[in-house]
Structure 1
Amino acid sequence: MAKLRIYNEIVNEEDKVFLQDWYGTDGVCYKDIPEFLDSMEEGDNEIDIRIHCPGGDCIEGWAIYDALRNSGKTISATIEGECSSMATIILLAAPKERRFGFENARMCIHNPAVAWLDLWATDRLTADEIKKLKAKLTAQEISLIEEQNKILNLYVERTGADRNELQALMNEDKYVDMSRAAELGFIASTLAPNTDRKSNSSKSKKMAKEQIKIENRLFKKLLSMAGIAKIEDVKVLDQKITAADGTEFTVEREDGDPQVGDKAYPNGTYVLEDGTTIVIADEIIESITPAGEGDGDGDGNGDGDGEDAEGLKAKVDELTQQVEDLTEKVNTLTSEKEALANDKAQLEADKTALETEKADLQSKVKTEEETEILDIVAKAGGKAWLENLKGMSSTFTTSNRKFVEHAGGGEGEQGETRAQKALREQREKNEAKRKAKAQ
Structure 2
Amino acid sequence: MNKSSLPAAAVLARRDFARSACPPSAMTAWNAGVRAATETDTSISILDVIGMDWWTGEGVTTKRIAGALRAIGDQDVVVNINSPGGDYFEGLAIYNLLREHKGRVTVKILGIAASAASVIAMAGDEVQIARAGFLMIHNTWVGAAGDRHQLRDTAYWLEPFDGAAVDIYASRTGIDSAEIGEMLDKETWIGGADAVARGFADSLLSNDAMRDDPQSRERTERLRAERATDNLGRIAGVSRSDIKQLIQDLKRVTPGADDYGKPGAADTEELRSLAETLRSL
TM-score (norm 2): 0.64
Partner of 2:45: 5
Partner of 1:270: 217
Partner of 1:84: 114
* Letter of the structure 2 residue corresponding to residue 180 of structure 1: D
CA distance in 2: counterparts of 1:194 and 1:264, whole angstroms: 7
Partner of 1:279: none
Q: How does 1:117-266 map to 2 (within 5 A)?
A: 117-119=144-146, 133-193=147-207, 265=212
CA distance in 2: counterparts of 1:111 and 1:68, whole angstroms: 22
Q: Deviations over 1:248-293 (max 9, x none)?
A: xxxxxxxxxxxxxxx9625883236998xxxxxxxxxxxxxxxxxx
Give SS of 1:31's match: helix
Deviation at 1:136, TM superposition (A): 1.2
Residue 61 (1) aligns with residue 88 (2): no
Give SS of 1:20's match: coil
Deviation at 1:315, TM superposition (A): 3.6
CA contact (8 A) 2:254 2:263 kept: no
Q: Which structure has the bigger radius of gyration?
A: 1
Partner of 1:37: 69
Q: Deviations over 1:340-394 (max 9, x none)?
A: xxxxxxxxxxxxxxxxxxxxxxxxxxxxxxxxxxxxxxxxxxxxxxxxxxxxxxx
CA distance in 2: counterparts of 1:104 and 1:299, whole angstroms: 37
CA contact (8 A) 2:252 2:267 kept: no
CA contact (8 A) 1:52 1:268 kept: no
Partner of 2:131: 103
CA contact (8 A) 2:253 2:262 kept: no
Partner of 1:19: 55
Shift in CA distance, 49/143, structure 1 to aligned 2, threshold 3 Å: same
Q: Deviations over 1:157-216 (max 9, x none)?
A: 222111122222222324221222122211112234469xxxxxxxxxxxxxxxxxxxxx
CA distance in 2: counterparts of 1:269 and 1:194, whole angstroms: 18
CA distance in 1: counterparts of 2:164 and 2:213, whole angstroms: 34
CA contact (8 A) 1:8 1:269 kept: no
CA distance in 2: counterparts of 1:108 and 1:269, whole angstroms: 22
Q: Deviations over 1:312-352 (max 9, x none)?
A: 55445434543xxxxxxxxxxxxxxxxxxxxxxxxxxxxxx
Q: How does 1:348-427 map to 2 (within 5 A)?
A: none
TM-score (norm 1): 0.42
CA distance in 1: counterparts of 2:132 and 2:220, whole angstroms: 27
Shift in CA distance, 46/142, structure 1 to aligned 2, threshold 3 Å: same
Give the number of equivalent residue pairs. 210
CA contact (8 A) 2:254 2:264 kept: no
List runs of 5+ in structure 1 lacking aligned partners.
Answer: 120-132, 196-262, 276-294, 323-439
Deviation at 1:4, TM superposition (A): 0.8
Deviation at 1:310, TM superposition (A): 4.6
List runs of 5+ in structure 2 lacking aligned partners.
Answer: 1-40, 223-250
Q: Deviations over 1:59-93 (max 9, x none)?
A: 11011111222232211111111111111111111
* Letter of the structure 2 residue corresponding to residue 117 of structure 1: A
Aligned mate of 1:318, from 269, 277, 281: 277
**Identity in percent:** 23
CA contact (8 A) 2:254 2:262 kept: no
